[in-house]
Every structure is written in structure tokens, then in C-alpha cells.
Structure 1
């Protein structure tokens, strides 16, 4: 198969701008987990298509607003996450559950605002939807329902998310590569033998058990680690019974930039790939173990968690290095590249991506 995306798509500024307008502004974007919004005023901030967004628990409801004060345009919530009311740190303007200014310091010094005028200063609100414990935000009102967007993977993603226990690691890094290079790297195992020879390759993932539905895709693979044998048997037993229990490895792409994987339903990884500019991407990995009622945590499980963290971090460092080399090389070729059967998910991702850029999706 020929690669669908020409090399200049990985570094061209005009293409990057089109991706913001034609892709990221038109879809559901992963924003966090329900555990990020347990308490009143819990919030996370992010950028979608370079638009600053805050997602916040406001009196028990998770809402999303433009993170820009209506008064003098300061960013309101300035940390990546936290717990504080929606109060601008510049002049102290406060906002209610609907994003309408509800507290204005030295209010008599302003003209008397009518109710309609206050409503006109309402923070722009965005749609929020959940799949289990996964929170998604869309910048447009007429986006398709989240369940339709996730398609055949909705129920599995829901079950996986409701099976999450301890969040044992959050690993965030900047990678000097285009976001598509990073996504495509995760969609194929062709590189595993060379790039991950001392890590992932030792698990011997293999096969072409792919599933495609609309924009999304998955890969299921056996591993050489059996759940009920050797040292893994105690780990499997500790996390049993569990809602999400599979043999081997499952990897799902939620188009275009959320990567969800699980090994045996015991461990889970959620990786978000966020474009910064054509040559730099923010990569954030969240690692969980499955929920369990077993207490206390035995030494073998603590050791398993530590090894899982170290394993994931090493794999992602290996991927970071090779993705940066790809980014460098893409600027010096006119070729489009070739894809093997093992890279069919890359082909599907590229085809879907071009559909958005060509206004076909």
C-alpha cells in the first residue's frame, strides 16, 4: 500500500492550520477522567485547536468553557489542573454555573449592567459528554453524539474506563515531531523488533487482528505472558474478578489522538497526543491498574506497579527518539512512503485524516 499522506503534511504550517479548523474543531476531544472532577471546583485546562479550554465541576455538573475572562481577556484557570472557583486572577471577575459574570469587584464604578448585558458577557460554553469515566469536549454544537463517534468501541471503552483503579503514573513530555508521526508510530508493530528489542518485543506481540469502525480502529494480540502461569498468576488473582478481563493485549485508537490499551485487563494506558506546532507535540500517558477490593497491597503488587511504570516510560522514550528522527527525515524527501499489511491501521488513519482535510468527513 502507498502511504496516503505526503511528507510535507508532517511539517507544513498551512497544513497544521487546516488541521485545527477542519479536524480538531469538528470532533470530540478527550479532556480527562471523572476522577479529575470529583469535587466542586475541580478543573483541568487544555487547548483544542489552540483554543484555551477549562473543564470544571460547577456545583456538581461538569461543564466546559472558553478559559478567557470577558473583562480584559486574561486566562482564568492558569494551572493544568486544580481546585478553585472560576475567578479571574487579574481583576477578580467571578463566573457562575452558566459562565455569566456573577461577581465584579468595585461594580459601582462600571455602568449598571442589565441582565441581558451580563448574559452577553457569558463565557462561551462547549459541549461535554462522557463514555463511562472518560470525559470528552467538542468545540461545535452540532457534533455527532459521542456514542456514534466512538461507534462499535463505545461499550468496550466504557467498560475499560469503569474498570480503572489506581492511577499509578502520569508521564508528560514534549516530542519534537509532528503529532501524526507519533500516532502512526503507535498504530503498527512493524517497528517493535528493532526499536523495542529490550522492552515490548520481549512480550512477543504479533498478528493482524485489526478492527475498523468509522474513524477508529483496534488491534488485538496474544502475548507470551499467560495470565494463569508463573509470576503473573498472583498478579492476575489479586485483580480478579474484574469487569474487563481479556487474553493478551488490546489497543484502540480513538481518532485522531487518544490511544487506549490494556494488558489482560490488569493494566491500562491512556495516551493523549496534543499538537503544539507542526514540529512539536505534547505527549501525556496515564497508567492505571485495574480496580480491586483487595487490601492491603502486597509487596508483589507494589513491585508490579513499579515495573509497569518503568516499562511504559522506557517504551515511550524509545518511541520519542525514533519519532524525532522521522520528523527530521520527512523534511528532506518528496516520497510518500510505503505501508505493509502490518501497517493497515496507519493506512486507515491517514485515509480518515485526509477525509477531514478534504471536507469529506
Structure 2
């Protein structure tokens, strides 16, 4: 046989596994935060939860820092939106913080708290490691670990290059799935399911074949496009005066372990997705669409973006809904079986994903798979 064994079904719903994943997978690895342009202005911020840790990535007069998103006073959340622009001031009692997490201001300190400089320093927010790859920002909660460049390996120059090419935001949003985050990731890691799940959508967009490259848990899947979308994008680029990626001209898909996926369509459109664990059986799929830059360097008009959105958003939504339904079906069935599934060679990207997961988790498991 040439098949390999998948992760045991228990690990798609077991709470103990989920708690381990928060620490061993998400807090110890590099996690994608967002694009640099999302925190380009003073007071711009992005929030996310990395494992058990609420993080805010914020611009302080040009200095971008990653800090614990919990006030040291009474543990209120400092920034309550996913993305926005406001100083790092607690909405509860107005305590404020600096770029290194130091306590900047305490209302009524002299009369009611009497905090000296040493006491203020002890109340500083925890600061996390923040690094960039091209226009992409990543955070690592754990103090020790490889640099981002070493972590990404051969994917570091790839991500740096494509993030500099696909610079024009079109749309962003999220979906909530009633599945473990790993099942959500697995839906984009093979094309074997296309004929069954996407016969009228993705099957007409790209061919059900894939050349695979890999490094640790990171993988690439290069899939030839059908002729119709190629012709459409060729016309769109000519009309819109768009560049085309010189290297990635089919459907080129990159997965960065543990939960980030980037799909490039005909070297013209980027779809970036992350799969965030919410509970052991729920996940949130976050997506951003970005177009490749124009030949003249100018920004694409809102009217043109509307055309792209109208063409691609419905298609993207259809595929994600088709994936969600089958993923939720798989999730519902996991407690009813006690043996692992199997993976064929056409699902090799999932095997690499599982191997990376096992490397992070298995030493901590109380029982083997």
C-alpha cells in the first residue's frame, strides 16, 4: 500500500488536545497577523488571539509593536475591535501604554494609587516578538524559537515577493465553521475532492491535478487553470492595466503552517486565508482579497474593484460554502469512529500538515494515536 494514516478522529474534538494545540502549535509557532499597510498610521491596530493569548499589534508613531491586549489594572481588553485606529488606552479606566508596553498614564495615580516608577514598570504589558516578511507581519508568543526567516525557509523569499506584488486591497471578511480548525485547513490542501464537492464551481476553474512542493509543514500546490478563467483574466488585465506575476500564472496555492493559506489566480488576484481555532469543534475562516498592482503604480478605482468583487466574491463564497458543508459533515462524524482515516498520494499536502502537527503535539499527548 502507498497510503498513510491520518490523525486519529479523537483529536478533532477532544478538549485536552485542543488545549495542547493552543500552547504547542499556536503559541510556539509564527502566526500571521496582517499586512503592514493595515497598521501604517499612528494608532492603527490589529487584534488577534494566539492560542490562549490576546495580542494587539499597534502603531505608536511609526513603531509597530505586539503587546498583550489585557490591561494590567483590572484585566479589561485594551482594544476591543478586530482592527481600528485609537490610542492604546483601556476603555474601562483609561490606563494608557507605550510602544514597549510600559505604563504611560494612570488617572488619579497621585491621590488613589501612589504608583512609583518601579511599580509602574512592574505593570508593563508583556511584549511579543514581531517580524515581517515583505509586507506581511507575523507574531510569536513564545520567547524562544527560530527567526521568521528560518521558520519559513524557502517560503520566505516567495512570500516577500508576492506580498510586494499584490498590494491593492479589494475585500476582507470572515466565516464561522462548525469544524475543528484542522478540518478547515484540510479543505484547501488537496484537489482530490473537487469532482465530488465542486463539480460546477472549482472544477470549471482549475484542473483536478496538483504539483506539490514542501518544507516542514509548509507546502505549495500548483494547479493548472482551465482556459476560460485564463481568458477572462487576460482581458481584465489588459482593460485595467494590471501587471501579471511573472512566476505564478496558474492557480498557485501556498500553505504556511499552522493556519495560513494563500491562493494566487492567474498571477492577478491573491486570496489570503487564516483558520483560527475558536473551540475544539469551531473555527473562524478569515479572508482578504488583494489585486496585483497596476502597471502605472496607481491605485485601482473603487468602480473597478466592484467589478472584481462581483465576479470573484460570489465564486469564492460558493466554494467556501461547499467546503463548509462537507467539512461540518466530517466533523459531526468524528465521535462515531475510533480508527484514523487514510491519505493517498493525492492528499500528500495533508500528510505534511499532519506530520508537522504530530511533531508539535505528539510528545505532549498522554496516549499515542
Q: Specify the TM-score bucket, using the shorter chain as the normaliser.
A: over 0.9
How far does residue 195 in structure 1 lie from its aligned partner after superposition?
Answer: 0.9
Deviation per CA, 1:205-258: give whole Å up to 9, x if none.
Answer: 23241001122111111111378x744322233354345552211111100100
C-alpha change, 1:333 and 1:26, in structure 2 (3 Å) is same
What are the superposed Cα offsets for residues 187-210 of structure 1, whole Å, 9 maximum, x if unpaired? 011111121111111023232410
| CA distance in structure 2 between the aligned counterparts of 1:219 and 1:32, rounded to whole angstroms | 23
Q: Contact 1:160–1:244 at 8 Å: present in 2 too?
A: no
Match of 2:313 in 1: 309
Asked if residue 353 in structure 1 is aligned to residue 348 in structure 2, the reply is no
Partners of 2:180 and 2:280 within 8 A in 1: yes
What is the DSSP-based 3-state SS (H/G/I as helix, E as strand, rest coil) of the residue aligned with 2:255?
strand
* Corresponding residue for residue 114 of structure 1: 116
Q: Deviations over 1:52-89 (max 9, x none)?
A: 11110112011011111111111111111111111111
TM-score w.r.t. length of structure 2: 0.92
* C-alpha distance in 1 between matches for 2:254 and 2:340: 25
**Correspondence list, 1:42-61, <5 A:** 42-61=44-63
Q: Contact (CA 8 Å) 2:216, 2:352: kept in 1 or not?
A: no
> Is residue 42–residue 62 contact of structure 2 (8 Å, CA) maintained in 1?
yes
2:71·2:125 contact (CA, 8 Å) conserved in 1? Answer: yes
Q: Do the aligned residues in 1 keep the contact of 2:222 with 2:250 (CA within 8 Å)?
A: yes
Q: CA deviation at 1:358?
A: 2.5
Does the 8 Å CA contact 1:171/1:313 hold for their aligned counterparts? no
* Distance in 2, Cα, partners of 1:67 & 1:302: 35
Is the 8 Å Cα contact of residues 259 and 271 (structure 1) preserved in structure 2?
Answer: yes
> Residues 23-64 of structure 1, C-alpha deviation per residue, up to 9 Å, x if partnerless?
111110111111110100100111011211111011201101
Q: Partners of 1:244 and 1:171 in 2: how far apart?
A: 28
Aligned counterpart in structure 2 of residue 69 of structure 1, from 71, 94, 117: 71
The residue number in structure 1 matching 2:367 is none
Distance 1:167 1:299 in 2: 13
- Do the aligned residues in 1 keep the contact of 2:90 with 2:96 (CA within 8 Å)? yes
Asked if the contact 2:242/2:292 (under 8 Å) is kept, the reply is no
1:152 aligns with 2:154: yes
- Distance change in 2, residues 1:278/1:234 (3 Å): same
Q: How many equivalent pairs are there?
A: 359
CA RMSD of aligned residues (A): 2.0
Q: Does 300-309 or 193-202 show the bigger shift?
A: 300-309
Are 2:270 and 1:280 aligned? no
Residue of structure 1 equivalent to 2:213: 211
